[in-house]
């Protein structure tokens, strides 16, 4: 198939940026979206032009780096997949495809389609960990965890931090990401020591990074490639407000 691409090109974080039109020719249906961009970049390189800059790594839907807004939707028109899992059979011959980076002040554009998502790293560093005296490796059965709780914690932990929730939200809220990272610890006995301190620290860091408030429209859940549920946000709010009833010394007690 032959396609028309309108791609956001931006030289650096200080550049204004603009859309540039390219032609993608002889694209096979079974190509992934990133493979299609590879073909376009090979053609640009042969012409001596600067190839389109975009993030990618595993190309297996695991790392979350392939952060593209495709025709107005994070990760494209399909549900429950990342951009690298999107295949060109989802489009038709002669179609025009608009490709943009994530749009959020907390995710500044580094170049073209790649954004700086280290804000997520700083939120994780603020409280997304567990302090324990490990010693020897304990047997997995020594801490009994109900299957329902284990499953819910696992589902929260499947968040890959791609940022689609931020890109989908009209307020650029990161609450789905933060709540998933809080939930995966709050549900398990290993995460109880810093439970309330964690919620306060991660929410405070989220606000400091400049992410917006939750809009309650559910766009984040709808566009999340891993299906993270809005119920995590409700749990995060409970954790955060409950923490306000504790003194700092009580939290560490």
Radius of gyration of the chain (CA): 21
> Which domains are delineated in the chain?
3-111 (3.10.20.30), 118-250 (1.10.1060.10)
* Interatomic CA distance for residues 234 and 218, integer angstroms: 13
Tokens representing residue 51 in the block:
């190839």
What pLDDT sits at residue 137? 67
Print pLDDT tens along the chain (253 aa). Answer: 999 999 999 999 999 999 999 999 999 999 999 999 999 999 999 999 999 999 999 999 999 999 999 999 999 999 999 999 999 999 999 999 999 999 999 999 999 999 999 999 999 999 998 877 667 766 767 788 899 999 999 999 999 999 999 999 999 999 999 999 999 999 998 888 888 899 999 999 999 999 999 999 999 999 999 999 999 999 999 999 998 887 555 555 5
What pLDDT sits at residue 57? 95
pTM of the model: 0.91
What pLDDT sits at residue 247? 59
C-alpha 169: how far from chain center: 12
What pLDDT sits at residue 249? 53
Dmax over CA atoms of the chain, in Å, equals 65
Intra-chain end-to-end CA distance of the chain, in Å: 64
């Amino acid at each position: 198939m032959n396609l028309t691409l309108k791609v956001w090109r931006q030289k650096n974080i200080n550049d204004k940026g603009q859309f540039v039109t390219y032609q993608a020719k002889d694209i096979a249906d079974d190509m992934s979206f990133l493979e299609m961009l590879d073909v376009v970049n090979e053609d640009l390189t042969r012409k001596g032009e600067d190839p389109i800059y975009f993030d990618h790594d595993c190309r297996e839907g695991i790392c979350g780096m392939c952060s593209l807004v495709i025709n107005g939707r994070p990760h494209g028109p399909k549900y429950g997949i990342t951009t690298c899992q999107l295949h060109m059979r989802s489009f038709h011959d002669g179609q025009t495809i608009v490709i943009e980076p994530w749009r959020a002040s907390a995710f500044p554009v580094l170049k073209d389609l790649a954004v700086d998502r280290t804000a997520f790293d700083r939120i994780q560093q603020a409280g997304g960990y567990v302090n324990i005296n490990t010693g020897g490796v304990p047997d997995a059965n020594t801490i009994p965890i109900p299957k329902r709780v284990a499953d819910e914690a696992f589902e929260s932990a499947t968040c890959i931090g791609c940022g689609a929730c931020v890109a989908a939200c009209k307020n650029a809220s990161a609450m789905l990401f933060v709540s998933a990272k809080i939930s995966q610890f709050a549900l398990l006995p290993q995460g109880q020591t810093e439970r309330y301190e964690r919620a306060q620290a991660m929410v405070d860091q989220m606000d400091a990074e400049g992410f917006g408030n939750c809009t309650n429209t559910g766009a984040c859940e709808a566009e999340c490639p891993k299906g993270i549920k809005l119920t995590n946000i409700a749990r995060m709010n409970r954790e955060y407000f409950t923490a306000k009833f504790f003194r700092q010394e009580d939290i560490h007690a």
